Each structure stands twice: as structure tokens, then as C-alpha cells.
Structure 1
Amino acid sequence: MSDTDAGERRAADLDPNVRAFLETAAALDAPDLTHLSIEQARAALEGLYTPDVEPERVADVTDRTIRAPARDVRLRIYDPAPGAALPAVVYFHGGGWIAGDLETHDSVARSLALRGDCVVVAVDYRKAPEHPFPAAVEDAYLATKWAADNAAEIGAGEGLAVAGDSAGGTLAAVVPQMAAEKTIDAPKIDHQVLLYPATNRAFDTPSYEQNADGFALTARAMVWFWTHYLRGDVDGANPLASPLRARESVLSDLPSATVFTCGFDPLRDEGVAYAEALERAGVPVEHANYDDLIHDVANMRRLPDPFPDVEAADDVLERAGEALRTAFE
């Protein structure tokens, strides 16, 4: 079989809406992120993920700021049923640790609140390269601790989970590890929902080779993201950046997890590897792999014209919501 035939066969295996999304991006000659400045990359993400459409209605949405030494951390709190004291979920958005904010991932946070029957606390953590690793990790843990300590103030009741997609999935994996290692006043986390997380700075898996180019997130872009996020190569070996490198004694103390991976994603295999590492450590894990989807699919429910909406995003988000509801039963 020729390389062309193999490529056509792989394209045929894609979800039809995803295939149309990629064809639209190609027709528009969408720029390679690695050829953009940080500001241009942020603007590109904002343009794609903040369409001018009516959002899903959540009963109460409130912005607030929490204080930390030498910085403020912005939060957005989504409460689908004020007065019901639902469990809380601290959510970290994607964007390669350099982009994204409360606006670009507003639809994901709303979906998790509605489908998970929970109060979602979305975190606008600091971004690299202005604030390199471990700034985002510090903000993620701070926000989780704050949510645990102020549940009544934000209208939440018992139960706390973390969730995140892509770079935010990495943070959602790291925060429970930090809590497991702290012996004093650590937040009690009941579950973690990890949507196609980066778990290891290595670039050496089969999925990096198979999905290096042509499926939105490229291997080249991941190298670019990691380079801007970390202070140097040594940071890549730190479990707070690469949670797959944590000791099994740490993994064994983690809460149950739901890990999502996508077949056409360079990060697929490291997500699988993390789910397997958790299982080996005795952590209850549900692994949901979508063979025909690409990275970032959860944020593709409502896209600006001329991009098609990716209907499969609803299934991913419904499954994430179900995981949260089950975890809190």
C-alpha cells in the first residue's frame, strides 16, 4: 500500500465532522502555531473557541478573584442549581500552558456543570512564557485548596473533583499528586477527569509518529508548547510537569480517575500509559478512547463559521459528566 493510500484510509477513519473541520482548516490555510508569536497564537485560539453564539444556560455564573502572594487568580463559578449544594469540580482549561482563558473554554465549563450536576470552579491560571512552570501548577493547587476550604461560600456541598483538558488535563493530574504528598491541610479530592492530558515530556510514543501532522495538534506544536512552558529540559523530568513520572507510592494514594484519549492525537499513548500506571497502582480507572476523534474535541461543540460543529463532542462531555455524577454518588 502506498503512503497516499494509507493516508486516505486514515482520513476515512475520522469522524465525519472532524474530517470536515480539518478540511475547512486546510482550505482556510490555517497558520502553523509554531510560526506565530505567543500573542498571535493566543488570538488564534480565542478566535476559534469564542464564537458569537448563545451559550448553554447555567443558572448562576459568577466571576471572582482570589488573592495569593504577589498575584491574583481569576475564577469563574458555574452553579446549575443554586441552593442545592452540589459537589464542586475545579476545572483547568487547555491551551498548551501558553493560551486559553475563562472565555475560550466557557462552553466546556458550562457543559461539565450541567452534565455533571456540579458547581464548576474554572481557573484562569498564569500562562507561560511570562509565567513558566511551575506557575500554572501553583495556581491550580491554590484554586483547588480554596474551593475545598470555601465550598459553602460558593454554594457547593460535599464532594470535590478536578477536571481538565489537554494542558489543563495535565494540571488536573498533577494537583491530586500534590495533595497526596502534602501531609497537612491538603484538599480531599474524590475524582479526577483527565481529557487527553499531556503526561510525559518525551515525544517518543507511536502516537507521536502516527499523528505527527495533519490532525490539528501536531508533534511540532507540542514541542513548541513544552519549550515555552518549561524553564529548561530538567523541568520535563519533574512529575509536576510530567505526571507519568511520579512514583508509584504517590500514584497509589490518588483518587479514582476517568481518562479520555483520542485515536488521532499525538498525546494518545501517554494518556493510555497514565491510565495504565494508575491501574497498576491500584487506583480505580475508567479509560475512554475515541478512535475516530482528534485532540481538543470537547471544545468543538460550537465553532464559528465556516467550521462545522463536531457533534461527537457532546458524547465526550456527557461521558465526563456521567463520570462526575457517578463519583459523587
Structure 2
Amino acid sequence: MALDPQAEALLAAFAGTPAIDFTQLTAPAYRAMIAAGGGFAPGDQVAAEEDLSIPASGGALAARLYRPSGEGSFPLTVFFHGGGFVACSLDTHANLCRSLAQRAQTPVLSVDYRLAPEARFPAAAHDACDAVRWAAANARDLRARSGPIAVAGDSAGGNLAAVTAQQLRGSNVRIAHQLLFYPVLDCANEHPSYESCGDGYFLTSAMMRWFKDQYFDARAERADPLASPLLAADLTGLASATIISAAYDPLRDEAEHYAARLAQAGVLTTHVRWPGQMHGFASALGFLDAAEHAVTVGARALRQALHQGGHRD
């Protein structure tokens, strides 16, 4: 299928920006570029938003809790934002978190993990695991229902959600579901979609290589399951998963390979390749009809797993 006309128009709006020289780009400069963007719809209205601080082994982490409207306590979801392990924040992904919270009827705890290159691998992975442990132990204080929780994220945040699901398997933290939007799952290898979708669709292969160079000190680290969940030897017993990939995304193949491996391991897995879309499309609320649809699909998966017992302990 051809690129969706709305996605094509959004890409055209970015076309006038200067090309990025990744041999000269610094993380602060990239973050400034991201901060200057935006303009997407704010997402669904929620009952309340509260900024928090989470204790973690690497230092306190900023977080924001989005509470949906409705009576009673709801099961909790912990969300990790994308940004290549280098950029983005609680604010850049607020619209996605609000919409997931309201549509899934789940409080969403968005976590601002440490960023590279100031904090290199495995800092973000350790922060993510610490945050999920803390959230599970303090669900009642967050006015959420104690019991199984979900993890979710997009891009690099999808990596961290998948990592936590693996690392906390068999622990006293019960994860009901992992919702992964176009996740980074293999930092050690480049799959065919790096070539076929590597230029002209917002996220480029060159940008992904730059992200990895910021996050990792040594190439050998990239095959560690804390970096590349796809390369974990054993995927049995993991929480059920919903994986949304985009047809025009260099990360498409690794996401789809992970979905296939999870299913082969007996994990209840739903995979949707979104036709005509590019990396990051779910955040483009107000611009892309597909964003609305994808967030609704993700929220429905969370709601089913958390509220109807569609999980595996």
C-alpha cells in the first residue's frame, strides 16, 4: 500500500527543514530540535495529572500520573516515552498517555528515565525496571488497584517496556500486558526494513545509527537482552503483548520478528502492521486519522488485559 495521504502531507511539512549532519549532531542540539516541534492535539481529557518523583538506584526519576475519569480504582499502566534513548520527555508524550489512560480506564504513570549520552546503557533499562517495581509496590498510594499492571511505550520506550517484561518475569511484579508501538527491539542488527524504509519516512536508518552510538559505549553491549529484547534466548512465560508496527518504518521488521517469536513461545500476541504509516505516527493526534485508530486499538488491548483478566501470570 502507498504512503497514507495524511502521512505524506505531514512528511511534506518537515521537508523544508535542513538535513541533519549526524557526524556533527550533538544530543543537546537534537533535543532542541525536538522541543521546537510539536503542535499535535493534546489528547483526551483526563480527570487529573500529577507530577511525581520515583526513587531509583541511579537517582530519583521524574514521572507523571494521568488519572482517567470514572469511579473506583483501576489497574495501573507504566509508560516509557520514545526518543532514541536520547531525547523527548514527559511533555512530548503527554497526548498519547492521556488518551491511553482515558480510553483504557487505566492510570498511566509516565516515567522520565535517564537519557544518553549523559547516561549510557544500561542506565535507561535499569531505570525502567526500578520504576515498574516501584509502581507495582505503590499502586495503592497511586490510587490504582493493586495486582497485575501493564507496561507500554513507543520506539525506545517500547524497548524499555519489553525489557521490563522480560527482566521482571517470574518476580513478584505481575505484568498483565506489554503494549509496544513500533519498538526498538534489536540494537545489534539491521533488518531489511533498514534498507527499504531507511530514508524519507521521518525516522531514518542514519538517525537510528546515531541513537545507538549515543546509547552504547561498546558494540558488544548491543546484543545484551537489556538492549535487544529480540535476542533473548527464552521468551516463554512473558506477559501477553500487543505490537503495532508501521509499514514505512526502518524498525518494522524487528517488531514483527519479535511478535512472531513471542507467538512461537506460546505468548498471547496481537500484531498489527499499520498500512501507509511511518514511525511515530501514533503521537500525531489531530493530524493523522491513523493515530486515533492506533491509540484506540492499543487502549482496547490494555483494557482487555487489565480489566478482563487477559493476562498470563
- TM-score using structure 1 length: 0.89
Structure 1 pair 31–143 and aligned structure 2 pair: CA distance change class (3 A): same
- 1:245 aligns with one of 231, 242, 248: 231
**What RMSD over aligned residues (CA atoms) do the two structures have, in Å?**
1.6
**How many equivalent pairs are there?**
305
1:31 Cα shift?
A: 3.7
Higher Rg of the two aligned structures: 1
1:266 aligns with 2:237: no
CA distance in 1, matches of 2:66, 2:233: 35
After the TM superposition, which parts of structure 1 deviate over 4 Å for at least 4 consecutive aligned residues?
52-55
CA distance in 1, matches of 2:42, 2:177: 30
Question: What is the match of residue 177 of structure 2?
Answer: 191
- 1:47 aligns with one of 19, 36, 53: 36
Q: Would the aligned equivalents of 1:79 and 1:120 in 2 still touch at CA under 8 Å?
A: yes
1:17 aligns with 2:16: no
Counting aligned pairs with the same residue, the percent is 40
Deviations 1:296-325 (A, max 9, x none): 1111114xxxxxx12210011000000011
Matched AA of 1:207: S
- TM-score using structure 2 length: 0.93
1:149 aligns with 2:137: yes
1:68 Cα shift?
A: 2.7
Question: What is the match of residue 3 of structure 1?
Answer: none
1:70 Cα shift?
A: 5.1
1:38 aligns with 2:16: no
Q: Would the aligned equivalents of 1:160 and 1:189 in 2 still touch at CA under 8 Å?
A: yes
1:291 aligns with 2:275: yes
SS in 1 for 2:95: helix
Structure 1 pair 219–115 and aligned structure 2 pair: CA distance change class (3 A): same
CA distance in 1, matches of 2:40, 2:202: 22
Structure 1 pair 14–255 and aligned structure 2 pair: CA distance change class (3 A): same
Which structure has more helix as a fraction of its residues?
1
- 1:107 aligns with one of 90, 95, 115: 95
1:116 aligns with 2:104: yes
Unaligned runs of 5+ in 2: 309-313
Deviations 1:267-306 (A, max 9, x none): 000000000110111100000111210001111114xxxx
Unaligned runs of 5+ in 1: 1-9, 303-308
- 1:325 aligns with one of 300, 303, 311: 303
Q: Would the aligned equivalents of 1:297 and 1:310 in 2 still touch at CA under 8 Å?
A: yes
CA distance in 2, matches of 1:33, 1:74: 31
Q: Would the aligned equivalents of 2:47 and 2:67 in 1 still touch at CA under 8 Å?
A: yes
Q: Would the aligned equivalents of 1:83 and 1:155 in 2 still touch at CA under 8 Å?
A: no
Q: Would the aligned equivalents of 1:86 and 1:117 in 2 still touch at CA under 8 Å?
A: yes
1:36 Cα shift?
A: 2.7
1:80 aligns with 2:68: yes
Within a 5 Å distance, the mapping from 1:162-181 to structure 2 comes to 162-180=151-169
Matched AA of 1:85: S
1:211 aligns with 2:197: yes
Matched AA of 2:297: R
1:53 Cα shift?
A: 6.2
CA distance in 1, matches of 2:186, 2:41: 36
